[in-house]
Amino acid sequence: MLGNTFGRFFRITTCGESYGIGKGSGLAVIVDGVPPGVKITDEMIQKEMDKRRPGTGELNSPRKETDQVHIFAGIGPDKVTTGVPIGMIVYNMDTQKIHIDQYHDYKDLIRPGHAEYSFFLKYGECADWCGAGRASGRETVGRVAAGAVAKILLARESIEVIAYTKECMGIKAKEMGFEEIKKNYRKNEINCPDPEAANRMIDNVLEVKKEGDTAGGIIELIIHNIPGGLGEPVFDKFHAMLSHGIMSIGAVKGIEFGAGFGCSKMRGSEFNDHPYLENGKVRFKTNNAGGILGGITTGEDIIARVAIKPTPTVSVEQPSINMKTMKEEKLSPITRRDATLLGRIYAVIEAMAAITTVDALFMDRGWEGMAKLDKKWVDLKRK
């Protein structure tokens, strides 16, 4: 299996499966590119891990995983980084035989919306059938741990990354500024900062859950206080790198920046963000570009919206094919699942955004050092 590493200068490599091999199975991540002298502890990483942990409410999977992270490499006796790769591991705890047997009962069937068929094509009969293996949402454990490290580095630059539920099955949160969103962040199970909309979303999802079905929605991502100048103008545009990271998350089906697809209905004079001066700094009256022009950040907030599909595991009977007998069958899985992924996947989106931003900072600071630009340009993008 290829494609388990992301990033160039700040790189992460993950491994591990949903259930794994017997007792002691788990998920791990190696984070390379962390500078020396940064304080990082298990407790600091755990704060991010708790955001995506299952078994904490009515909307998410009842699987009881503690997701306790342990740093096993890269930290010295004084709790600061030494400059070598950081290694972290999380052990699977809730891998009961009853659930493994449920997966085994339909391991040869195509589960609609899952990766069974494509896994058969790529890995044949050796494909991991238990809990979807590397295609499981549990794969994201390592990403969130690595993202926590990235967030610690971004905090030194005063950069904040927040993602929240913007919409669920047609119910939309009201428009809010960053500070209001931050104030109401994680105040409810679906992580919608609009309390009234959040209650309607939750009630709707619980009704869908009673029917044995699941719900999708939209997560909005904000990267606040990001400096200008990050990203490259051709293949490594900042939003191209960010899209790569976020689109690599299993349940993500689309992403848009700023006005997004709405730009198709606008005139150029409406879409263009008009600049003005504020205390000697260039600002823009609107942010239809989502904080990126020519693939390079402008210093305005990065705004992106991410489409999340409904959890594919449902209890509603669906048509299937038995890949062993090559006959059509009916499938009605009874395994554990999230009624909606919105209340946990935001943590994974934040993680990939943080990792991408740190990587872009490494690229920019390296370029800056070699380019030896006039100090006025360096000062301007950091105002």
In this model, does residue 59 exceed pLDDT 80?
yes
- Give the strand order in the sheet containing 217-224: 171-172, 160-168, 217-224, 302-308, 252-257
Q: Can you say whether the dihedral through the CA atoms of 34, 39, 42, 43 is positive or negative?
A: negative
Q: How high is the pLDDT of residue 104?
A: 78
- Amino acid in position 170: G
- Rounded Cα distance, 246 and 308, in Å: 11
Least confident of 33-42, 117-126, 259-268: 117-126
Query: Bridge partners of 222?
Result: 162, 303
Query: Which residues, 6 or more positions from 291, have their beta carbon under 8 angstroms from its beta carbon?
Result: 223, 226, 257, 258, 297, 298, 299, 300, 301, 302, 303
- Amino acid in position 21: I
pLDDT, tens digit, 9 for 90 and up, residues 346-373: 999 999 999 999 999 999 998 888 888 8
In this model, does residue 22 exceed pLDDT 70?
no
Average pLDDT over residues 328-344: 86
pLDDT, tens digit, 9 for 90 and up, residues 68-104: 999 999 999 989 999 999 999 999 876 777 777 777 7
Asked if 302 and 221 count as a contact pair (C-beta separation under 8 A), the reply is yes
What's the CA angle centered on 337, arms 184 and 120, to 5 degrees? 125
Give whole-number Cα distances, 244 to 119, 247, 271, 330, in Å: 21, 5, 25, 35
- Helical spans, DSSP H, in the chain: 42-52, 97-105, 116-123, 141-155, 178-183, 195-210, 238-247, 268-271, 342-371, 375-381
Give whole-number Cα distances, 179 to 27, 193, 258, 273, 292, in Å: 35, 11, 18, 22, 21
Q: Please tell me which of 86-100, 176-190, 323-337 the model is most confident about, judged by mean pLDDT.
A: 176-190
Q: How high is the pLDDT of residue 155?
A: 98
- Rounded Cα distance, 140 and 352, in Å: 10
Average pLDDT over residues 245-258: 97
- Rounded Cα distance, 271 and 134, in Å: 41
pLDDT, tens digit, 9 for 90 and up, residues 142-172: 999 999 999 999 999 999 999 999 999 999 9
What do you get for the CA distance between the two ends of the chain, in Å? Answer: 44
**What's the DSSP call for residue 274?**
P
- Give the strand order in the sheet containing 11-16: 5-6, 11-16, 26-32, 86-91, 69-73
pLDDT, tens digit, 9 for 90 and up, residues 3-13: 999 999 999 99
Average pLDDT over residues 30-54: 95
- Rounded Cα distance, 280 and 224, in Å: 20
Its pTM stands at: 0.94
Q: Can you say whether the dihedral through the CA atoms of 276, 282, 284, 288 is positive or negative?
A: positive
> Which residue segments constitute the domains of the chain, with CATH numbers given?
5-381 (3.60.150.10)
pLDDT band at 383 (very low <50, low <70, confident <90, very high): low
- Rounded Cα distance, 373 and 376, in Å: 8
76 token code pair: 């010295």
Q: How high is the pLDDT of residue 289?
A: 97
Average pLDDT, the chain: 92
In this model, does residue 180 exceed pLDDT 70?
yes
